[in-house]
Structure 1
Amino acid sequence: MTDPQVAMTMLGLFIFIIFLGFPIAFTLMAMGIGFGYYAYYEPGRMWRAFNRLDENAGWWDSISLWAEGFFNNRIFDLFVNQTYSVMANDVLTAIPLFLFMGYIVERANIVDRLFTTLNIASKNLPGSMGVAALITCGLFATATGIVGAVVTLMGLLAFPAMLKVRYNHSFAAGIICAGGTLGILIPPSIMLIVYAATSGVSIVRLYAGALIPGFLLLGLYLAYVVIRAILQPSVAPKPTEEEVPDVPFLKLFVMLMTSFFPLAFLILAVLGSILFGLATPSEAASIGALGGLVLAVAYRALTWDRIRQSVYLTIRTSAMVCWLFVGSYTFASVFAYLGGEQVISEFVQGLDLTPLQFLLLAQLIIFILGWPLEWSEIIVIFVPIFLPLLPMFGIDPLFFGILVALNLQTAFLSPPMAMSAYYLKGIAPPYVQLTQIFWGMLPFMGLVVLSMVIVYLFPQLVFYLPDQVYGR
């Protein structure tokens, strides 16, 4: 076999193994080292090592020389260097800090207060409880960036409340599942940090570019909920006085000041300091983590057990992302060394695609990969395959990254592997069927596709803020 054929075998074998359920990060590392040993192998190295033995050499000398001959392969140097480069990456240091902020906020009972306040404030709107749930999801998803955490917590808080006031089961489930995915796109998104580290695009430009598309998607969700509540009042009945009481304006203002504004101020302060160049993402994330602790203290929800849980979850998730990077970098380096990237590039060139056709193909592949894989695995492993092809079609990696972030929303909303549905089903009442949750998510998945079409037709939605703030 030629080296390019070995590279394609390596890629096919990896895809086969991950579909068997093996841990992805360690599969990447094992295959990268295994195939890398072949790629960097120098014939005769072992023999030259044994030739250094003399007649009086003992068994320990023999073992030492054998180990030297075996391990003296450049793949091990590559693996160590890639591990160090990931651990020393300044962009990635923001991930554990943002995660810690989100986990602390999640455990400080802030979201419960926020949903209750927004539910009362929006009482007179059609689909008021759905609107409140979406805004809460958007704000909380922005703070934490973890889809499972947002869907689970909102499924415990807002979903039973909506069912209690006779909301249609599918409609309510779709609101929770769709709202929970917004943190993938709306800054300070952890997914965008990972994409920035993978692609080399400036994280501040990514954050600025994602703001308008993120709020566009949230706006489409809110418009759908309100319009459907107007056209079909039975799916979102107006709550009665007993279900959602009227509150005097002054009391409502105090509730907003103690629930909505503190969390909104924290997120805006973190995001604003990044966008206006007052702090690096890591520095802003540090302030966000400290702000999360201050909010927890203010709400009298900071306990040793909650800190311990938040630290543990932060370390676990951060370690997963970092080892994914190590495995991916090692795998990609060996794959490129064997000529795999050249094979893919020549194949795509041979298809004679237009930029639109290439974008459709890339987004379709990412959409399908979103069924069995998490967004972190798609960004770290498969998106780098497309990145070298972007200049060929004149596509800006910033624009491509925003489309990918929008597309990954569908990964959590598309049956039969929609993880948001399974997160919600795990804590929903037994009478709520999985098929009902699936049906509720489909209109929101259509809105994601619509937002991608709008962004493609009007690319200035992505480029306007980065160009205005940072120049071209």
Structure 2
Amino acid sequence: MIEYLSLFLFLAAVFVLLMGYSVAFSLAGTGLVFAGIGALTGHFDSVFLEAIPNRLFGVMNNEVLVAVPLFVFMGVMLEKSKIAEELLDTMSILFGPMRGGLGISVTVVGMLLAASTGIVGATVVTMGLLSLPTMLRRGYDPKVATGVICASGTLGQIIPPSIVLVLLGDVISSAYQQSQIDQGIFSPETVTVGDLFLGALIPGLLLVVAYILYIIFKAVVSPSSVPAIPQEERDAVENIWGKVLTVLFPPILLIGLVLGSILGGLATPTEAAAVGAVGAIILSMAKRSFSLSVLQEVMRSTTQVSSMVFIILVGASIFSLVFRGFGGDDMVRDFLTDLPGGVWGALAVVMLVMFLLGFFLDFIEITFVVVPIVAPILLAMGLDPVWLGIMIALNLQTSFLTPPFGFALFYLRGVAPESISTMQIYRGVVPFIIIQLCMLGLLALWPSLATWLPEVVYG
């Protein structure tokens, strides 16, 4: 009976979320209400409620999570300093002579912006505001233009340094330790954010290459849908290579310093994020776009995003604790282990559920609510933690692109002109969804795409 209460708890939380209530308070509220009902009926041990303060203190005392507001600050500061706008203008002139050059520019800039912000919404909105009017004015097919922007915007899920990977790294590390304890293994080995950053590099870069190859394919089979930039517009720019160097080098150097310090073991993710935040301020000053009003705006945006992340984490911690108190983790374990196909059958079901949840929940809720429940079970079945983390990130990235509920589609719809129909956006992302699914299948067939680099670097 008690296990069914955990199922009712989950369904109640989903119902409250669909009613439109705040995610953090929906999770915490339903958890506390069910805990109270369980305690009154004798189906819930009050020890779990007493553990809530310690759980929340552990969240607030987690040094890895301090990297989140610092990475957000870095990304917002780079956005406000107009670096993304300059990058797009410069890259479009550089690739302008070839058909599809502007689309390739959007993909490359989207990758760099994803690496600097790590936030899908910010990247999609920024690229939509900057590049969509330009692409439409130059004769791009609206479906191709919107598809490229949505797809390149979601690269923030998988291209390090990504906030998604920072949060996943913390959760996967805890899940790995829990799976070891459940098996009676007491090992000092753990999974770090650096492991996930390294594991995501090859799949992320392969995705970027696949996007570019698709744009080249469109240029061959349908040249009119991705025209080149007019010659007179390119001729108007003097010293293009000098401009490329001055515009492209600083953000790449900053991203390289942040990533290199983490991957080289010279700094923790939090320390590297602090370097990135200071570096973003220096770049903004060098661009002469830094001011007190800009700093206030950046700090306000950082506070809003960081508060959202941490309040959701608090609510999810309470929810997952009550869920475990009702024996929900045992019910999920029994369900997954009894599925046909063994570990692959369990993985397929988990990935499908996460994919569907990605229509309604952001990656933060899924990372904090679903992953802590299913990851220890899958890891105990023998899956590699780094590979599992990258599979989850790639799966959620695909979910955010998929109609009719993909988050990236909503973000672009909010800034796209009325001349662009919602159906054009939906049709535009279909080829990129196919690319994503192929990449997911490729990663499933060859886990070494995610595990090889961490093994080489960290042994």
TM-score, L = length of structure 2: 0.92
Name 2:7's counterpart in structure 1. Answer: 8
Q: Is the Cα–Cα contact under 8 Å of residues 355 and 393 in structure 1 kept in the other structure?
A: yes
Q: Is the Cα–Cα contact under 8 Å of residues 147 and 181 in structure 1 kept in the other structure?
A: yes
Name 1:422's counterpart in structure 2. Answer: 410
Question: Size of the alignment, in residue pairs?
Answer: 440
Query: Structure 1 runs of 4+ off > 4 angstroms?
Result: 38-43, 72-76
Name 1:349's counterpart in structure 2. Answer: 337
Name 2:58's counterpart in structure 1. Answer: 85
1:391 maps onto 2:364 in alignment: no
Alignment counterpart, residue 137 of structure 2, candidates 151, 164, 167: 164
**Counterpart of 1:244 in 2: which secondary structure?**
helix
Name 1:121's counterpart in structure 2. Answer: 94
**Counterpart of 2:267 in 1: which secondary structure?**
coil
Name 1:364's counterpart in structure 2. Answer: 352
Name 1:175's counterpart in structure 2. Answer: 148
**Counterpart of 2:331 in 1: which secondary structure?**
helix
Alignment counterpart, residue 310 of structure 1, candidates 291, 294, 298: 298
Q: Is the Cα–Cα contact under 8 Å of residues 100 and 314 in structure 1 kept in the other structure?
A: yes
AA matched with 1:156:
L
Alignment counterpart, residue 266 of structure 2, candidates 272, 278, 284: 278
CA distance in 2, matches of 1:343, 1:412: 28
AA matched with 2:318:
T
CA distance in 2, matches of 1:412, 1:7: 28
CA distance in 1, matches of 2:152, 2:168: 22
Paired residues for 1:17-36 under 5 Å: 17-36=16-35
Q: Is the Cα–Cα contact under 8 Å of residues 412 and 418 in structure 1 kept in the other structure?
A: yes
AA matched with 2:163:
I
Alignment counterpart, residue 238 of structure 1, candidates 195, 214, 228: 228
Q: Deviations over 1:329-358 (max 9, x none)?
A: 222122112211111111222223333322
Unaligned runs of 5+ in 2: 174-190
Name 1:431's counterpart in structure 2. Answer: 419
Q: Is the Cα–Cα contact under 8 Å of residues 99 and 219 in structure 2 kept in the other structure?
A: yes
Paired residues for 1:51-450 under 5 Å: 74=47, 77-200=50-173, 201-245=191-235, 247=237, 251-450=239-438
Q: Is the Cα–Cα contact under 8 Å of residues 125 and 226 in structure 1 kept in the other structure?
A: no
CA 1:419 to 1:42, structure 2 compared with 1: closer, same or farther past 3 Å?
A: closer
CA distance in 2, matches of 1:30, 1:372: 19
Q: Is the Cα–Cα contact under 8 Å of residues 71 and 117 in structure 2 kept in the other structure?
A: yes
CA 1:411 to 1:42, structure 2 compared with 1: closer, same or farther past 3 Å?
A: closer
Name 1:46's counterpart in structure 2. Answer: none
Q: Deviations over 1:79-116 (max 9, x none)?
A: 22122111100110000000000000000011111111
Name 2:177's counterpart in structure 1. Answer: none
Moved more, 13-22 or 107-116: 13-22
CA distance in 1, matches of 2:417, 2:7: 47
CA distance in 1, matches of 2:214, 2:17: 37
Name 1:61's counterpart in structure 2. Answer: none
Q: Is the Cα–Cα contact under 8 Å of residues 120 and 408 in structure 2 kept in the other structure?
A: yes
Deviation of residue 162 (structure 1)? 0.9
Q: Is the Cα–Cα contact under 8 Å of residues 337 and 343 in structure 2 kept in the other structure?
A: no
Q: Is the Cα–Cα contact under 8 Å of residues 185 and 192 in structure 1 kept in the other structure?
A: yes
Deviation of residue 408 (structure 1)? 1.2
CA distance in 2, matches of 1:183, 1:446: 18
CA distance in 1, matches of 2:97, 2:442: 30
AA matched with 2:243:
M
Q: Deviations over 1:138-190 (max 9, x none)?
A: 10111011212111111121111111110101001101111011011010010
CA 1:42 to 1:152, structure 2 compared with 1: closer, same or farther past 3 Å?
A: closer
AA matched with 1:22:
Y
CA distance in 2, matches of 1:423, 1:35: 34
Q: Is the Cα–Cα contact under 8 Å of residues 104 and 292 in structure 1 kept in the other structure?
A: yes
Deviation of residue 124 (structure 1)? 2.8
CA distance in 2, matches of 1:14, 1:42: 20
AA matched with 1:7:
S
**Counterpart of 1:181 in 2: which secondary structure?**
helix
Q: Deviations over 1:221-259 (max 9, x none)?
A: 1111111111210110122113433645xx122212221
Deviation of residue 298 (structure 1)? 0.5
CA 1:414 to 1:13, structure 2 compared with 1: closer, same or farther past 3 Å?
A: same
CA distance in 2, matches of 1:42, 1:35: 10
Name 2:452's counterpart in structure 1. Answer: 464
AA matched with 2:232:
E
CA distance in 2, matches of 1:245, 1:10: 64
Computed over aligned residues only, the root mean square deviation of the Cα atoms, in angstroms, reads 1.8
AA matched with 1:259:
V
AA matched with 1:81:
N
CA distance in 1, matches of 2:39, 2:254: 50
Moved more, 124-133 or 272-281: 124-133
